[in-house]
Amino acid sequence: MKPVKPKKFLGQHFLTDLGIAKDIADTVDACPGLPVLEVGPGMGVMTQFLIPKPRLLKVVELDFESVAYLRRQFPSLEPHIIEDDFLKMHLDRLFDGHPFVLTGNYPYNISSQIFFKMLDNKHLIPCCTGMIQKEVAERIAARPGCKAYGILSVLIQAWYHVEYLFTVHEHVFNPPPKVKSAVIRMTRNDTSALGCDERLFKRVVKTTFNQRRKTLRNNIRPLLTTLNQEREAKGLPSVDATPLLQDPLFDRRPEQLSVGEFVDLTRRVEQLF
C-alpha cells in the first residue's frame, strides 16, 4: 500500500519506530475502562497498538489522504474514523457525552491549541496522553521558579497532574523534525472548582505572563484598567486598585507564583471589582 507523503502545512512528522509507537499507545493504560480518541493518527503507527485494547477507539484525522489510507489499512476501524478538524469538533457528541481518554502524536503547530481545548472540555477528558514538542512538554510539566514555567504550566496544572514520561529523538520520524519530542500524561486532579472565577483566572494568568521579566505589579496594571473600563460600561464607578498593588506579592515575578497563589490573586482581584 502506497504510504502517505507527510504534508508540511499540516505539521506532519510520521513516527517510524514501532517500539516507541507502542510505548505511547500504552500510556492510555493508566486510565482503564474509558473509550479513546486518537488525534492525528496519520498512517496508524500508534493506532495499530490501540485497536487491540479492550475499549472503544475513535480516530480523528484532517488529512484526506491519511483517512483513505486508514480505511484501507484498518477496515474494522472504518466506522470510527472521523474526517474532521479536532479543534472545531463538539467533543460532547463523540461518545454520547461520556468521558474519554485523549491521545495522539499531536501536530507541533497546534499542540497548545489542543490542550486549551482539553481544558475547555476537562469534564469530558480525565486523562490525556501523547507526544508533543519537548519544549512544550517541559513547559507543561514545569514547576514554579523554573524558566519554562508559564501560562500552559499554570492553566493545565490547575486541573491536571502532569507526568513527563520520556524523550523521543528526531531520527525516528519521517521527516525528522528540527526539535526533540516528548511523551506526557495529564490526569485530572481532585480539583472540582478553583474557588474563583475561572475566566478571570485565565485572564490574570495570561496577562501577568505577557512580560515575564517584569513584576506582577507592572504586568497586571493593563488588566486592572480593562476591568475598570468594563465596570464603567455597566454604569458602575471605577475602583482604586492602589491598595491592592501595594502588597509585597506584586514585587514578585509571575514564574515565582504557584497555582494556588494565582488562584488567591484572582480571588482578590475578583473581590475588588
Distance CA 245, CA 258 (A): 19
pLDDT single digits (tens) 124-167: 999 999 999 999 999 999 999 999 999 999 999 999 999 999 99
7-11, 225-229, 241-245: least confident range: 7-11
Alpha-helical regions (H) of the chain: 18-25, 47-50, 64-73, 111-120, 134-141, 151-157, 198-208, 216-233, 242-245, 259-272
- pLDDT by residue (tens digit) across 87-105? 999 999 999 999 999 999 9
> In which band, very low, low, confident or very high, does the pLDDT at 176 lie, cut at 50, 70 and 90?
confident
pLDDT at 1: 67
Tell me what pLDDT residue 213 has: 87
Domain boundaries, the chain: 8-188, 198-272
Instruction: Report the CATH fold assignment for 198-272.
Output: Helicase, Ruva Protein; domain 3 (1.10.8)
245's grid cell: 498593588
Contact 253/215 with Cβ under 8 angstroms? yes
Q: Pick from 27, 5, 60: which is nearest to 168 by CA?
A: 27
pLDDT of residue 256: 96
Q: Is the pLDDT of residue 2 over 80?
A: no
Distance CA 118, CA 99 (A): 12
- What distance in Å separates the CA atoms of residue 253 and residue 173, rounded to the nearest whole number? 38
* Spatial distance between the Cα atoms of 269 and 265, rounded to a whole number of angstroms: 6
CA dihedral 68, 1, 183, 133 (to 10 degrees): -70
Tell me if the domain spanning 8-188 has CATH number 1.10.510.10. Answer: no
Kindly tell me if the per-residue pLDDT of 236 is higher than 70: yes
**pLDDT at position 11, please?**
65
